[in-house]
Amino acid sequence: MDSQLIEYFLRVADLGSINRAASDLRLSQPALSRHIALLEHQIGVKLFTRTKGGVVPTEAGRLLYERARPVLRQLEILVEQVGSRAAGQLSVGFPPSWRHLFTAQYVQALVAHYPGVSLRVHEDVSHALREVMHSGMLDLAIIPFEGGSPAGYRHTALLREPLVLVSNKRARLRPEKPVPLSHLDNLKLALPGKPNVIRTQIEHALARQGYAFKSIVEIDAMHLSIDLAREGSAHTVTPCCAVSAMSDQDVSWAPVRGMYITWALCENTARSHSAAVLEGRRLVLEQLSSIVAQGAWFGAQWLGDSLV
């Protein structure tokens, strides 16, 4: 039995309402109802009686409510003890656009300074990386900033950078000369599929201004999109860091005026006590602030001064 179901049950019992509990847990009401129904199915009894004002526990529900908390506490202690055994493990996730400017340097520094840490690196597009993070498989991840954090995670804004249009060198785009959004009108684009943040941002911005969005291929592989731009088969839009560290003379790029992406550090709070995670977090902030301060990250605005 999933202990999370018990925690959902306890929250519903505390609040006396599935709607209020769903809002508190940041779940949809139908999803929470399904979780409660699954728990009732697994136990084999009804746990709540539905009323006009909400829900009240049945006799079985009251018994479960009285006895569940000590059991969950024992499980938490067990998890903490096991977690201390895994203190030397660190699992991190980065977007592909960070590879040349940050990720490679970060991995090299961490391996050199903390040889006792068992490091796992996951690289993927933003929406896929977010799913992996929220499944609990990552301790730290760099993802586009979200207004609110789901339960069990902490999001901290780090920096903002321009989104740039990448084309073949014949387009003669220049970093110091931003292009207007109208430049993307009906342009043949190679972008990730929905719900990718950049794809959604570009598509919506064009629609608001009455311009045509034309995606000729959906590619959840940023470097392949840049390859297509290099060959002149398509154009793509990426975070500036994806190209500002490249010495590729076969592409040209320029910021899209008014278009930015804000990056955040997403942390799994269940693992924040780990020494490896603490050092991994510290190194992320230290290296990022250094790169931005040196001016190596074109157009980046550092937002994490209070975090270092």
Place of tokens 């392949």: 224
For residues 220 and 234, state if they share a domain: yes
For residues 164 and 231, state if they share a domain: yes
Rounded CA separation 275/70 (Å): 28
CATH number, domain at 273? 3.40.190.10
Residue 125 pLDDT exceeds 90: no
Mean of the per-residue pLDDT values for the chain? 89
Rounded CA separation 215/235 (Å): 9
Domain end: 85, 107, 122, which one?
A: 85
Residue 214 pLDDT exceeds 50: yes
CB–CB of 273/292 below 8 Å? no
For residues 109 and 169, state if they share a domain: no
- Which residues span the domain enclosing 80? 3-85
pTM above 0.75, yes or no: no
Better pLDDT: 74 or 145: 145
For residues 151 and 280, state if they share a domain: yes
At how many degrees (to 10) do helices 29-43 and 3-15 cross?
A: 110
Report pLDDT for 86: 46
For residues 266 and 286, state if they share a domain: yes
CATH number, domain at 31? 1.10.10.10
For residues 194 and 242, state if they share a domain: yes
CB–CB of 267/226 below 8 Å? no
For residues 18 and 167, state if they share a domain: no
Rounded CA separation 84/255 (Å): 46
If pLDDT is split at 50, 70 and 90, which confidence band does 265 have? very high
The DSSP output letter for 3 is H
Report pLDDT for 80: 59
> Percentage of the chain surpassing pLDDT 90?
64
For residues 119 and 237, state if they share a domain: no
For residues 164 and 250, state if they share a domain: yes
Overall domain count for the chain:
3
For residues 251 and 177, state if they share a domain: yes
pLDDT tens digits along 71-104: 887 777 666 555 545 458 899 999 999 999 999 9
For residues 269 and 244, state if they share a domain: no
For residues 168 and 253, state if they share a domain: yes
Place of tokens 């006792």: 116
